[in-house]
Amino acid sequence: MTPLLSVQGVTKHYGARLGCGDVNFDLWPGEVMGIVGESGSGKSTLLSCLSGQLPPDAGKVVFDTRADGPRDVLTMSEPERRMLARTDWAFVHQNARDGLRMGVSAGGNVGERLMAVGARNYADIRAQAIDWLGRVEISEDRVDDRPRAFSGGMQQRLQIARNLVTGPRLVFMDEPTGGLDVSVQARLLDLLRGLVREMGLSAVIVTHDLAVVRLLADRLMVMKGGRVVETGLTDQVLDDPQHGYTQLLVSSVLQV
Amino acid sequence: MTEQAYNFAYLDEQTKRMIRRALLKALAVPGYQVPFASREMPMPYGWGTGGVQVTAACLTPEDRLKVIDQGADDTTNAVSIRKFFERTAEVETTEHTAEATVIQTRHRIPEQPLGEGQILVYQVPIPEPLRFLEPRETETRKMHALEEYGLMHVKLYEDIAHNGAISTAYAYPVKVEGRYVMDPSPIPKFDNPRLESAAIQLFGAGREQRIYALPPHTRVVSLDFEDHPFEASKADHDCDLCGCGTSYLDEVITDDAGGRMFVCSDTDFCASRQADGHRGALSPQEELA
């Protein structure tokens, strides 16, 4: 079996400062990878490099494409990469406003990716949009409302629906639960876990919230100062942290 | 200053050459927006500065010019642009569509089909069809380059979702020769089918500094959905002056008690029909013979 995403020696410098250094990992189909670390540890930089939004200084990001097998995303032409970004990939932003079109109705937001890959039948597009709104627990009568009229949690769920409607194989998530209150976070996590398992998605989730990775991620990567300091199965890393920073991180979680 | 102080058709020869180069490029790549160095014109933006520059670059002393605004020959915009070229280019002008070699228009295509050898120049306020969906110009250019036009259908989707039908009635987006999506300037969608024409069609946007074009007989398809096809709509009425049932109509309010009449928006078309003896519901009574 080939890994869905193979990251080899990805390095990004901001001037003399290290963004992320020499990151290697393989992501297998159906696997969810968590990346945790403090603010400024390079996890968002890494995610941008992986998703083709930021060209890294060195390294390879090899994605197993449907048509041509494993290919380095970074050497792909821009049209190919953009095509990938709206079919096989999805990107869930921390702030739903970055990932949604705020002036377009919920149905239009979900339908945009369908229309971008050539759907031209209004009734079909609308039926799929309503189906997906249902899956993320947004009721059908909100389909023509703009995201402005939605709560933060609903916006985030709408963003997820919009991303998953074309059946991507790899989802990048940047702090998907950031900025939401705890009960909404719990529901969102529950929903995400269901969708990921049901659709057999692979995902790379960046977060600083250990509870999120505990629930969602199969494997964990801990970053500090742009370097990966520890990797392993999620439960293994969280229950028996080896690196000093990971120990600090795990012991810093507030207990109620 | 006398008229002789101006170069022929106001613009200097270098500027006209620059505009002609942009026009040739635009004709070579139908629907593609070619940037050009738009000049200040002696009229405000929004009054057809782009169209005037394109017309100036196309005019020769032998040309016969017609200028229309919303189909009418006698509105302020049309009259002042016509006068402008009468003074600066001393070309003949006409109100008859068939006699004109160059027609500058704002928001309409003349009812009478245009033929080979005629040039139709449009005044365009906003050339970018994706503008209100994607405000970043860098991004829209990339979308044109990569032919990513899914977003255009999002607009039509929104129309149907909110109004039950495609309610975009003017500036209805079209796809040119299966490649570029183009804003046909704010002509009513009634005129869209007539964008496929034997005449050369040039579009000038002065403020936005863009020129684009449709060569004769270019394939122009209005975007739509399979289950909500494009429909060229007009007011469901006949012209009250000439009785024509197929022309595009203006609604004219005649009093403050709900009185109204519908008249052809193309004044030349309406006048020539009336001269041929056609009468509408509100035409003056014929003189008793």
Q: Do B192 and B114 fall into the same domain?
A: yes
Q: Do B190 and B258 fall into the same domain?
A: no
Q: Identify the active-site residue in B50, B51, B206, B270.
A: B270
Query: Which chain B residue is nearest to residue A145, measuring alpha carbons?
Result: B162
Is B110 domain-assigned?
A: yes
For residue range B74-130, list pLDDT tens digits in order.
999 999 999 999 999 999 999 999 999 999 999 999 999 999 999 999 999 999 999
Is B61 domain-assigned?
A: yes
User: Residue A122 and residue B150: Cβ atoms within 8 Å?
Assistant: no
Give SS3 for A23.
strand
The whole-number pLDDT of residue B227 equals 94
With beta carbons less than 8 A apart as the criterion, state whether B65 and B140 touch: no
Is B229 domain-assigned?
A: no
Is B288 domain-assigned?
A: no
Give chain B positions within 8 Å (CB) of A105: 158, 161-162
Task: Work out the average pLDDT over A204-225.
Answer: 90
Considering only CB atoms, A79 lies closest to which of B146, B154, B160, namely B146
Q: What is the distance between the terminal CA atoms of chain A, rounded to a whole angstrom?
A: 43
B43 touches chain A (CB under 8 A): no
For residue range A68-89, list pLDDT tens digits in order.
889 999 999 989 999 898 889 9
A112 touches chain B (CB under 8 A): yes
Considering only CB atoms, B150 lies closest to which of A115, A121, A123, namely A115
Of B15, B107, B109, the closest CA to residue B56 belongs to B15
pLDDT higher than threshold 80 for residue A5: yes
**For residue A198, which phi and psi values (nearest 5 degrees)?**
-65, -40
Instruction: List Cα–Cα distances, B99 to B115, B122, B197, in angstroms.
Output: 11, 18, 17
The whole-number pLDDT of residue B208 equals 95
Q: Do B65 and B206 fall into the same domain?
A: yes
Task: Name the domain boundary from B195, B222, B249.
Answer: B222
Q: Do B257 and B186 fall into the same domain?
A: no
Q: For position B147, which CATH number holds? A: 3.40.50.11310
- Please tell me the distance in Å from A105's CA to the nearest CA on chain B: 7
User: Residue A123 and residue B160: Cβ atoms within 8 Å?
Assistant: no
Q: Do B180 and B271 fall into the same domain?
A: no
The whole-number pLDDT of residue B289 equals 46
Give chain B positions within 8 Å (CB) of A108: 154, 157-158, 161
Give chain B positions within 8 Å (CB) of A143: 161
Q: Do B156 and B263 fall into the same domain?
A: no
Is B286 domain-assigned?
A: no
Is B175 domain-assigned?
A: yes
Considering only CB atoms, B153 lies closest to which of A101, A105, A115, namely A115
Q: Do B22 and B118 fall into the same domain?
A: yes
Considering only CB atoms, A116 lies closest to which of B148, B161, B226, namely B148
- Please tell me the distance in Å from B141's CA to the nearest CA on chain A: 13
Q: Do B158 and B189 fall into the same domain?
A: yes
A140 touches chain B (CB under 8 A): no
Q: Do B252 and B123 fall into the same domain?
A: no
Q: Do B161 and B240 fall into the same domain?
A: no
The C-alpha atoms of residue B24 and residue B9 are separated, in whole angstroms, by 19
pLDDT higher than threshold 60 for residue A120: yes
Give chain B positions within 8 Å (CB) of A113: 150
Is B228 domain-assigned?
A: no
Q: Do B183 and B247 fall into the same domain?
A: no
Is B242 domain-assigned?
A: yes
User: Residue B158 and residue A104: Cβ atoms within 8 Å?
Assistant: yes
| A–B interface: beta-carbon pairs under 8 A | 54
The whole-number pLDDT of residue B2 equals 55
Which residue range is the domain that position B38 belongs to? 3-222
Low-confidence spans in chain B with pLDDT less than 70: 1-4, 286-289
Proportion of chain B above pLDDT 90, given as a percent = 91
For residue range A141-154, list pLDDT tens digits in order.
999 999 999 998 89
Name the domain count of chain B.
2
pLDDT band for position A165 (cuts 50, 70, 90): very high
3-state secondary structure A103-154: CCCHHHHHHHHHHHCCCCCHHHHHHHHHHHHHHCCCCHHHCCCCHHHCCHHH
Give chain A positions within 8 Å (CB) of B226: 120-122
Q: Do B81 and B114 fall into the same domain?
A: yes
The whole-number pLDDT of residue A177 equals 85
The residue among A98, A115, A141, A146 with the most chain B CBs within 10 A of its CB, best to mutate, is A115
Instruction: List Cα–Cα distances, A198 to A132, A167, A195, in angstroms.
Output: 14, 11, 5
